[in-house]
Structure 1
Amino acid sequence: MSVRRKVPRLTVVAVGCACAALLGAAPSQADPGTDDTLVGPSATAAEPSGEPFGIGPTATDTFGGYLPEGATLTAFDVENPTVGRLDPPLLAAVQEATRRAASDGIAVEINSGWRSVGFQQRLFDDGVRTYGSVETARQFVASPQTSMHVVGRAVDVGGPDAAAWMARNGPRFGLCQVYANELWHYELTADAAGACPPMKPNATG
């Protein structure tokens, strides 16, 4: 989808992630609570930092995976959990693609990668408020139970011409655009021959 940049990453059906479009302004300060369990394969990655926000009446969660407006990440910024908690095969594929794109004069940025359960829930809840119903929101933002970002198996790319380059070349590295309405969302779903499965119309499948 799912959030800098030379190409806006915060619109819903445009190159970039919809996260900040749903979140609006940056989160306000609050007293830390108990973080939700961090989901992702990289147990040694740095703990996410940011302001906690409420998830329901009692639970709290940090903005794990949230990138402030103006922040810039690449596939090599593994000290940031947005990148460092990606599934290792996906991370390796994105890094290889990033190197190849650079040789073609294309800078591939990471607009969004791993997200905590609580952050994804916030995005989903804000999507419901924005679009007016759960059914419509699901076309643009996945629930924490279905989001590949939560398990570190999806990245949103940005940067001038990066999405177009990835559309042409991503399958060579196993990377496929998954949703027709999200030009920036890539997962490691190509087969051994570099063929991608048919795109889904949107996040509802």
Structure 2
Amino acid sequence: MTTAQASGSGRSAALIATLVVAAAALVFVLLQAPNAISASTFTTPIGPVSTVQERGEAAADGRITAADGQIEAGSALSLYDGSPAVAGLDGALLDAVRTAAAAAAEDGVDLRVNSGWRSPELQQLLLDEAVGTYGSAQEAARWVATPETSEHVSGDAIDIGPWQSAEWLGRNGAAFGLCQVYENEPWHFELRPDAAVDGCPRMYRDPTERVR
């Protein structure tokens, strides 16, 4: 065998080895994919998340700011934050959530504000975006209320995150008078003072079922 032939043979062997490793990695990824999809299916609730709604393009034109209750992308606020999203909430609601947060902290859970008070302008912008996303006002109404009917605009609703925190409050909130109101929004809580004794009332399927 000549030197050139030996060199060519070496390169061929290296190429084959590389292809074998790449094929093995591809098989591993494909085998893992169903598990990853399954996990995502069970841990990610269906439907829009309020923080995504209010962050995406809501402030793109500069009209919507923190003064409207808009929360900076990638952020969640402390329950003691002084911005309008927190300070604009009903005082009794905020006190109840702060009390719940102290109990949650003992369980290693941090309750954060994903969305709180919103101005009518921010609420309308979210509704307009939802209509564009879902293709009709009827479907959008399942996720975003009008400025005239939104409990966020009146300061009577708070969206809690992250997911494990909302789940904690869903399980324990009644003791603090805090209830999940809509089946399709596990992050949305409102004050129901009687819940500490009577438990939370039946949830609405979505906001369209609620008579205001």
Shift of residue 25 of structure 1? Answer: 3.6
Letter in 1 for 2:72: P
Q: Which of 121, 124, 144 is matched with 1:121 structurally?
A: 124
Q: Which of 73, 88, 93 is matched with 2:77 structurally?
A: 73
**Whole-angstrom distance in 2 between the partners of 1:62 and 1:80:** 7
Q: Which has the higher contact order (CA 8 A, sep 6+)?
A: 1
Gaps of 5+ in 2: 1-43
Q: What is the match of residue 185 of structure 2? A: 182
Secondary structure (helix, strand or coil) at the match of 1:110 reads strand
Which string of whole-angstrom CA distances, capped at 9 and with x for unpartnered residues, describes residues 60-83 of structure 1? x87611112122312111x11100
Shift of residue 189 of structure 1? Answer: 1.9
**Whole-angstrom distance in 1 between the partners of 2:154 and 2:58:** 24
Task: Tell me the number of residue pairs that the alignment of Structure 1 and Structure 2 aligns.
Answer: 165
Secondary structure (helix, strand or coil) at the match of 2:207 reads coil
**Whole-angstrom distance in 2 between the partners of 1:153 and 1:103:** 26
With normalisation by structure 2, the TM-score equals: 0.71
Shift of residue 13 of structure 1? Answer: 3.2
**Whole-angstrom distance in 1 between the partners of 2:66 and 2:86:** 16
Question: Contact between 1:109 and 1:159, CA under 8 Å: does it hold in 2?
Answer: yes
Question: Contact between 1:17 and 1:111, CA under 8 Å: does it hold in 2?
Answer: no
Shift of residue 145 of structure 1? Answer: 1.0
**Whole-angstrom distance in 1 between the partners of 2:135 and 2:54:** 12
Letter in 1 for 2:183: A
Q: Decide whether aligned partners of structure 1 residues 108 and 22 sit closer, same or farther in structure 2, where only a CA change above 3 A counts.
A: closer
**Larger helix proportion, structure 1 or 2?**
2
Deviates more, 1:66-75 or 1:174-183: 66-75
Question: Contact between 2:119 and 2:153, CA under 8 Å: does it hold in 1?
Answer: yes
Q: What is the match of residue 63 of structure 2? A: 52
Q: Of the two, which has the highest radius of gyration?
A: 2
Gaps of 5+ in 1: 1-10, 30-50, 54-60
Shift of residue 158 of structure 1? Answer: 0.3
Letter in 1 for 2:99: E
4+ runs deviating over 6 angstroms: none
Which string of whole-angstrom CA distances, capped at 9 and with x for unpartnered residues, describes residues 97-118 of structure 1? 1111001110111100000000
With normalisation by structure 1, the TM-score equals: 0.73
How much identity, in percent, do the aligned residues show? 43
Q: Which of 195, 199, 202 is matched with 1:195 structurally?
A: 199
The answer to whether the aligner puts 1:110 opposite 2:113 as a matched pair is: yes
Shift of residue 94 of structure 1? Answer: 0.6
Letter in 1 for 2:87: G
Shift of residue 27 of structure 1? Answer: 2.5
Q: Which of 86, 103, 126 is matched with 1:83 structurally?
A: 86
**Whole-angstrom distance in 2 between the partners of 1:144 and 1:130:** 18
**Whole-angstrom distance in 2 between the partners of 1:52 and 1:12:** 30
Which string of whole-angstrom CA distances, capped at 9 and with x for unpartnered residues, describes residues 39-87 of structure 1? xxxxxxxxxxxx315xxxxxxx87611112122312111x111000100
